[in-house]
Amino acid sequence: MKKIINSEKYRIEVSNEHIVISLNTPQEDELYAVYLKTGDDRVIEKKPYQTTETFTFSIVPNGAYYFRVFVRKGEAQHVWSTSLFLLPQGVEVAGTDSLMDKIIADGDVDGNLSLILQDEYFDAKKAFRRVMDAVHRGLAWRNKEDFGQRLLQYLKDSVDFRKRRFALSCLVYASESEFLRENYLFVKESIAACGEGLDHEAAYIGGLLEYRVGNFHSAELLFQGIKKSPMLEYHQAPSRSYFYRWSPDGTRAEFGDFNLLRKCEGGGDGVVLMSCDYGYFAAYFQKSMDALLRKECSVHVHFVLPQGFDLNRISVSALGEIGVSYEFEPRNVSEELNIKTYYAASRYLVLDKIIQTYEKPVLISDIDIDFSPMDLKGLFHMLPADEIALVFGIRNLPWLSILAGFNLFGRNVAGGPFVAYLKSFLSYCFATGRDAWMLDQVALEVSYQNLSTIHKRKIRPMSEIKNFPLRQYGDVDRYRTVARQARLDLALSMSE
């Protein structure tokens, strides 16, 4: 069964085996690169620059997707996107997803893992994404130990390179740390045996193994050996930002330019700080602001705007009582994935300036958090002025150990060791091309681990202060489609 989408600029063909995009107007001396992305802007697969105009991608689960197309001719480059398309009903994904669901959701390892590994045509990347997604969402599925044991046995019995790589990835990503410590030497040797031809994948899995068993310096050495490449999967990219020990070298560029348009006019006990680009502002601003203002919170939004943006587009008076600041996108952070990382991280880069401006506690928040069910009353009085409250996540991955989207900072921590180190580390990563997905969460983890014991005592879990039901707004695809369209409209208007 096939689905064909025709446009003036491209043709997309979806079948049971592949998704193929063909560019209709190739030009001489042009190079093309294409990213396949989900409707919520996650990169699924990348194709590096090439001269041909046809790109073939692996089939993906049902959902909303689009392609991001990069065009280069000499020194000039421009970028455009296709419309969203839905993977059609009737295009099935070879049974792998349903079998992984039985393992993860039902704990039914027996037989299902064997069926997956016996399938000559199973999609290893897709199966691993299911495991990875379960880990990222903190799912502790039943019979995880049995899952690990069976993967371990498969590694001992199998010679299939592709399936051994899948088994190793799942084993290191999902198994309990104690299980990995017990089988450390065998797993390490298995990674080394699969290393030939794996390049960054072997270094990534090896680094993750070292981190999971507590060999943090060894993990750093392996992660830092991974070179920046379009071939890096989105879950592998944050590894390049991980350091067990990092010291400012004095040569880094400073990021986080802060231009204050207006302080918040509200009289709240603290300030909720968000950073975003024009697209996320268009999608989420009104909904989030209405919820927060009903709770009598002061709100400050820090905009990251494209170079050449006309500030008259921001009508401060129309934004109500919120505080507003801005910066322009750094000129040396130009790739699309990197700049989206910057949008999220910039709130931490300007944190010290916000605290100094308001002289109040600051709650850093994602702009797409659903504040409706939250009781924020008295929150800012619950934290001593010289302390920080962080949302700690799952400790088996350095980029999930501390979550970035809801953290509270006392009014006296600006310029302190944690906030200063955090800004320096983020600036270093942006300056050296380590600005990948989840950089802000890696930065929080590295900054926390590098504190002295006495300073760590000033940081506590947010749950000790108050438990909050952290969740995004529903219908994420719809909101992010609005954001994407706003970015496209802005780019079009600025090019006129």
Whether residue 72 is predicted with pLDDT greater than 60 in this model: the reply is: yes
End-to-end CA distance of the chain: 42
Flag whether the pTM goes above 0.85.
no
Residues 6+ apart with CB under 8 A from 376: 295, 297
At 21 the pLDDT is 93
pLDDT surpassing 50 at residue 416: yes
pLDDT tens digits, residue range 227-258? 887 777 778 888 999 999 898 776 566 788 89
Tell me, rounded to whole angstroms, the distance of Cα 252 from its chain centroid: 24
Tell me, what's the pLDDT at 90? Answer: 39
Question: What six digits make up the tokens of 301?
Answer: 């939004």
pLDDT for res 271: 94
Q: What is the pLDDT of residues 100-157, one digit of tens each?
A: 777 776 666 766 777 777 766 567 777 788 788 888 777 666 677 788 888 888 888 8
Identify any residues that bridge with 365 across adjacent strands, giving them in sequence order.
406
Check if the beta carbon of residue 231 is closer than 8 Å to that of residue 48.
yes
For residue 457 the two structure tokens come to 């005592």
Give the pLDDT confidence of 357-400 residue by residue, as tens digits.
999 999 999 998 888 778 887 889 999 999 999 999 877 789 99
Q: State what percent of residues in the chain have pLDDT above 70.
A: 89
Domains and CATH numbers, the chain: 3-78 (2.60.40.10), 96-225 (no CATH), 259-488 (3.90.550)
pLDDT at residue 2 in the model = 66
For residue 96, CA distances in Å to 123, 126, 182, 399 come to: 7, 8, 29, 27
- For the stretch 254-312, pLDDT in tens is 788 899 999 987 677 899 999 999 899 888 888 888 878 777 788 999 999 988 888 88
**Token pair for residue 30?**
């042009």
**pLDDT of the residue at 187:** 94
- Listed in sequence order, the residues at least 6 apart from 466 whose beta carbon sits closer than 8 Å to its beta carbon are 375, 379, 382
Report the DSSP pairing between strands 76-81 and 64-73: antiparallel
- At 93, the pLDDT band (50, 70, 90 cuts) reads very low
Instruction: Identify the CA nearest to 267 among candidates 367, 353, 380.
Output: 380
Average pLDDT taken over every residue of the chain:
84
Residue 299 structure tokens: 């709100």
